[in-house]
Amino acid sequence: MLEQIKNIKSLDELMALHSATFGKTGTMTARLKDMKNLDNDARAALNAEVAAMRDAFKAAQEELENTAMLVALAEQKLDAADTSHQYQPPVTNGKLHPLTQTMSEIAAIFESMGYGLRTGPDIEDDWHNFGALNFPEHHPARDMHDTFFVDGGNLLRTHTSPVQIRSMESDGVPIKIFCPGATYRTEMDATHFPMFHQVEGLHIDKNVTMSDLISDVKIFLARFFEMDSVDLRVRPSYFPFTEPSIEIDIKWRGDKWLEIMGAGMVHPNVLKNVGVNPDEFQGFAFGAGIDRLTMLKYGYNDGRKLFEGDIRWIKAKGF
Ligand code: PHE
């Protein structure tokens, strides 16, 4: 019993044991009532036992109360370095630019489809931006690209297609790549900014066909717009570097068709320009405007918004 009292870990338990022993119906109370029937020696022994138990209860109680006080003191200790009770101004984290976020999403999708990432310079020479892409000298197709010229006969690339050329020059074929990046044209209105962004796709091998193009574009667009599947419409178009050339439209919100990218089978002249035999290899290329993809995905009409740095708008759009 004395051991049991000593080992008790809480005041409540101690009190419970105390009343089970000395309370009205307690075990010891019953024995004490019976004391008159005991002889002197037994009485003395019982008294000693009672005294020892009372001492043990008292000691245990003091010990437990002491510990409880120490715990309470430790909890109440004032930590001068703890500022959690003070007013904390809200912390706002910086984020990547919405376009950078979209570019990362696009990159993750193409990489998962086996396309390798390639980039090229923003300042290009005429050959990579036009010549190698089968734009003849003085051909009106060059006027479709309102070009920024820079000193030394160079220019700001008007599309990401020169990265096709540079990549085939350095890596040869077969090749399966995507090339995101900034592009520049001298135009400016609600949907056109002098700097915009494109992502180019290029897949050249021995048996690559137009249906591979359509299927990959479908997979990409469905994943990008988080749709189960997408309906595409293909219209004939013209680019000097693809033959045949097409414009791909996507069925948007069930009713209208939206132009989403240009594409086609890479023109034999382009392959020849990078030393590839077009009788042996062929494939497709496509080019989409990233700014436009971002506008559609996040639902806004003024492309200039992304460059105004209006944090309220950026937050409202959920970027
Ligand atoms: N470079 C074209 C443009 O900027 C897009 C495109 C890329 C078309 C690849 C066909 C193939 O308009």
Is the minimum distance from the CB of 178 to ligand 1 under 6 angstroms? Answer: no
Rounded-to-integer distance, Cα 96 and Cα 19, Å: 68
Cis peptide before 268 (omega within 30 of 0): no
Residue nearest to atom 7 of ligand 1 (CA): 287
Contact in structure between 266 and 241 (CB atoms under 8 Å): yes
- Residue among 204, 184, 136, 212 at smallest CA distance from 291: 184
pLDDT value at position 158? 95
- Residue among 289, 248, 283, 254 at smallest CA distance from 268: 283
Average pLDDT per 10 consecutive residues for the chain, totaling 319 residues: 87 90 90 88 89 90 89 81 79 86 96 98 96 90 83 93 98 98 88 90 98 98 96 96 98 92 98 98 97 91 84 86
Residue nearest to atom 4 of ligand 1 (CA): 159
pLDDT value at position 315? 85
Contact in structure between 199 and 220 (CB atoms under 8 Å): no
Contact in structure between 225 and 217 (CB atoms under 8 Å): no
pLDDT value at position 88? 79
CA of 238 to the centre of ligand 1 (A): 9
Is the minimum distance from the CB of 239 to ligand 1 under 6 angstroms? Answer: yes
Contact in structure between 178 and 272 (CB atoms under 8 Å): no
Identity of residue 285: A
The atom of ligand 1 lying closest to the CA of 158 is: 4
Token reading at 152 = 């030394």
Is the minimum distance from the CB of 286 to ligand 1 under 6 angstroms? Answer: yes
Do β-strands 232-239 and 195-205 pair in parallel, antiparallel, or remain unpaired? unpaired
Chain centroid to Cα 181, Å, comes to 20
Q: What is the pLDDT of residues 50-83, one digit of tens each?
A: 888 999 989 989 989 898 888 888 888 777 788 7
Is the minimum distance from the CB of 293 to ligand 1 under 6 angstroms? Answer: no
pLDDT value at position 243? 98
Residue nearest to atom 10 of ligand 1 (CA): 263
pTM of the predicted model as reported, rounded to 2 decimal places = 0.72
What letter would DSSP give residue 204?
E
CA of 263 to the centre of ligand 1 (A): 6
